[in-house]
Amino acid sequence: MAKTVRRVSTRAGKRSRMQEAHDSFVFARYLFMMVIIAAIIILTGVIITLGPLDISVADAYRALIDRFYPGYFEVEPLTSRVVWNIRFPRIVGGILAGLGLGVCGCVMQAVLKNPLASPFTLGISSGAQFGISIAAVLGISILGGPYLLVGNAFLFALLCSCFIIGLAAIKGATSETLILAGIAVNYFFTAMSQLFKYFADDEQLRLMTSWGMGDLSAFSWSKIPLILVVFGVCIPLLMLKAWDLNIMTSGDETAKSIGVNAEHVRVHVMLVSSLVVATVVCFTGTIGFIGLVAPHMARMILGGDHRFLIPASGILGAVVLVAADGVAMNVIAPTVIPTGIMTSVIGVPFFMYLMLKGRRREFWA
Amino acid sequence: MMIQLQAKGIEFGYNSSMILKDISFEIGPSRLVTIVGPNGSGKSTLIKCIDRILSPKSGSILIDRKDVTKMDRMEIAKNLSYVPQSSARTFSSNVFDTVLMGRRPHIGWLSSSDDEEKVWEVLRLLGIEDLAMSGFGELSGGQQQKVLIARALVQETKVMLLDEPTSNLDIWHQLDVMNIVSDLVRKRRMTALIALHDLNLASKYSHGIIMMKKGKIMAAGDPASVLTPENIEAIYNVEVAVRSQSEAPFIVPVKQIKMNGNHHNHNGKFFSNGKRRCGLPRSLSEIKEIRLS
């Protein structure tokens, strides 16, 4: 039988011990969100300082603020140029890529009801890799010039998603079928990419391999507005479905009985998140770890409410990616290790620690 | 007599195989009605068709004379709540958040303090307030069932559908869950339609019983008229003795009757060895209009 719950009188009315515990939990959720936002701001300042030119953390922030309020601080022109034109765009790119992959991993896991779902496991990244292979080896792309590789990566990432979404929309496929289809697509495009690698010359091979390892060097100020527009439209559309995603983790039957049209939500979320993923991977290459693990980290700390989980997954994704990129660039400078490699090297031990020692061992039911 | 829930000629099937055939009944307000029948008789399918989780091929479902088939999903959720047999969750959330999901038909993106207070009220009502911060997956089967009932309750519907809510529970929790539902029916004037395997639980708690076999209603009415040895033998192939305990029939299994072709190929009539074994199902036309008001 349930124990008697102690009540505590307050001016606002009687709050039970459990209600107070719940209030504390909600407060802790907001606090955690503030902490990870603060973490990304601090991390930005710290990582800007890493590099051949000595810049202090304070100078880094001054240089950034100076861009928005010119003349407010005295900043050396060289420092300002290095911070604004070289180091900060890469960090912003890392934040956006981590945000996009984290958010998309989170919503994909929810609609597919599978903790293994991520842009990588669904074959979207391998589709993009195949697009890169075609552009690199055959020189065929939907776009030319500097967007030769990016254009193809975007197209094939979207094609891959459309195939999986088409299955859901037309055949009413279950989440299990979609995961299997994603894995099959992953194998297919990986095999096709390998085939191209087999016939590629050294330069083409280097291009394909470096893209496959994941890298943030493609980000520059000219590309960031495009990503911001896509994110500005897509991420609010995903956030609007936060309640429905909470319910869909209980299964389609329960979702329907509570008023959620599970099939429509699944197609909507997959479509929107695919656009985000395609936009990210076409610039960064394959960074497989973030989309899978950032949502799990957030879930272990925040519980299952997607109103908190979606933004937290995105911000945690950004924190991990930016931190990993900072280490990748500086650990054996001047050699820059590909970001995708360092993300897994740093992130996996941290994730294993959380999984084994975390408070919420039972976060996968 | 007021009718709370009415089903008219519901038919459902996959491709050519029909699972529900011409199901019709009426249930009044503040009634607890159970659907009984052997495995595969269509009990759960009927519950899911009523809640439009499955779409019937034909027929209509009316709640307070409003046609459920013409409502959108959110409107259905405001009128009908559903308690699944179990809730296998991919990702666990705490009990409070799980119950709060039931407010979805009534709220937008943000839940108000009013919605949260309703959740606390229901948790208190079911005696599970102290579990509010526990993970759903950490709970026992009985506690999980109460949480699922709580989630359905915060939907604030007049009709609650429950799909075998006692099937995974020990006898204490079976009685606990049935007492909760019975109290809700009595005190909140709700109508509950429950798919149930246990005939004695159905007998003890129901105002009316619908007995199904192979997607058809074979008998319906008050427990004493439906739970007869003849009906049970014809439907379940089990010989039973029925004793009367405080007016509710109490069923004691006596002997399992071997299934043979005759029992399963009755074409609407119950014959065994060429002889009519019991009065059921009378004729199907006789039981098309079933009132459990």
Quick: pLDDT tens for A227-258.
999 999 999 999 999 999 999 988 888 999 99
The answer to whether the CB atoms of B91 and A307 lie below 8 A apart is no
- Contact across the interface for A251 and B87, Cβ inside 8 Å: yes
The model's pLDDT over A171-205, given as tens digits with 9 standing for 90+, comes to: 766 777 888 888 888 889 889 988 988 888 888 88
Q: Do β-strands B159-163 and B191-195 pair in parallel, antiparallel, or remain unpaired?
A: parallel
Q: Are A108 and A118 in contact (CB under 8 A)?
A: yes
Min distance A260 CA to chain B CA atoms (Å) = 7
The arrangement of secondary structure in B5-222, i.e. its CATH architecture, is 3-Layer(aba) Sandwich (3.40)
Query: What's the CA gap between A236 and A273, in Å, rounded?
Result: 11
Interchain pair A249, B129: CB under 8 A:
no
| A307 contact residues in B (CB cutoff 8 A) | 109
Place of tokens 């299997």: A180
Judge if pTM exceeds 0.90: no
User: Could you tell me if residue A21 is inside a domain?
Assistant: no
Closest CA to B38 of B271, B288, B263: B263
**Under 8 Å between Cβ of A318 and A231:** no
* Beta strand pairing call for B238-245 and B191-195: unpaired
CA distance A32 to A30: 5
- Rounded to 5 degrees, what are φ and ψ at B195? -80, 130
CA–CA gap between residue B203 and residue B224 (Å, rounded):
8
Tell which residue, A106, A127, A146, has the closest CA to residue A292. Answer: A106
The string of pLDDT tens digits covering residues B168-218 is 788 888 899 899 999 999 988 899 999 999 999 999 999 999 999 999 999
Residue B60: Cβ within 10 Å count: 15
Q: Say if residues A234 and A128 touch (Cβ distance below 8 Å).
A: no
Query: What percent of chain A lies above the pLDDT cut of 70?
Result: 92
Residues B80, A257: C-beta atoms closer than 8 Å: yes
Nearest CA in chain A to B154: A258
Interface of A with B in 106-135 (CB under 8 A): 109-110, 113-115
Q: Which of B48, B47, B40, B36 has the alpha carbon at shortest distance from B202?
A: B36
Count of beta carbons in the 10 Å neighbourhood of residue A144: 9
Which distant-in-sequence residues (6+ apart) come within 8 Å of B276 by Cβ?
B269, B270
Let me know: does A51 contact A78? Beta carbons within 8 Å: no
Letter for the amino acid at A265? V
The domain containing residue A222 runs over which residues?
A: 89-351
Domain count, chain A: 1
Please, what is the average pLDDT of chain B?
83
- From chain A, the residues in CB contact with B76 under 8 A are 259
Average pLDDT on A57-73 reads 85
Which candidate in A20, A106, A116, A257 is best for mutational testing of the B interface (most B CBs within 10 A)? A257
Whole-angstrom distance, CA of residue B76 vs CA of residue B57: 18
Q: What is the pLDDT of residue A119?
A: 78
Q: Do B104 and A259 touch (CB under 8 A)?
A: yes
Compare all CA atoms of chain B with the CA of A14 and give the residue at the minimum distance. B117
Pairs of CB atoms within 8 A across A/B: 123
Interchain contact, A258 vs B88, CB within 8 Å: no
Question: Where does A75-144 show beta strands of DSSP type E?
Answer: none
- At residue B280, φ and ψ (nearest 5 deg) are -85, 155
User: Is residue A305 within 8 angstroms of chain B, CB to CB?
Assistant: yes
Q: For residue range B72-95, list pLDDT tens digits in order.
A: 999 999 999 999 987 776 677 889
Q: How many Å apart are CA A171 and CA B109, to the nearest integer? A: 30
B93 to A243: CB separation less than 8 angstroms, yes or no: no
- Cβ within 8 Å, pair B155-A258: yes
With 0-12 / 13-18 / 19 or more C-beta atoms within 10 angstroms meaning exposed / middle / buried, residue A45 is middle
CA atoms of A359 and A353, how far apart (whole Å): 11
CB within 8 Å of chain B, chain A residues 234-253: 240, 242-244, 246-247, 249-251, 253
Can you give the CATH number for the domain in which A141 is found? 1.10.3470.10
Retrieve residue A212's tokens.
């496959």
Q: What is the mean pLDDT of residues A247-272?
A: 89
- Chain A residue with CA closest to B153: the answer is A258
* CB-CB contact of A49 with A57 (8 Å): yes
DSSP code at position B69: G
Domain contains A195: yes
Q: How confident is the model at residue B100 (pLDDT cuts 50, 70, 90)?
A: very high
Q: Which residues of chain A from 18 to 47 reach within 8 Å of chain B, CB to CB?
A: 18-19, 21-22, 25
**pLDDT above 70 for B236:** yes
User: Residue A158's pLDDT is what?
Assistant: 85
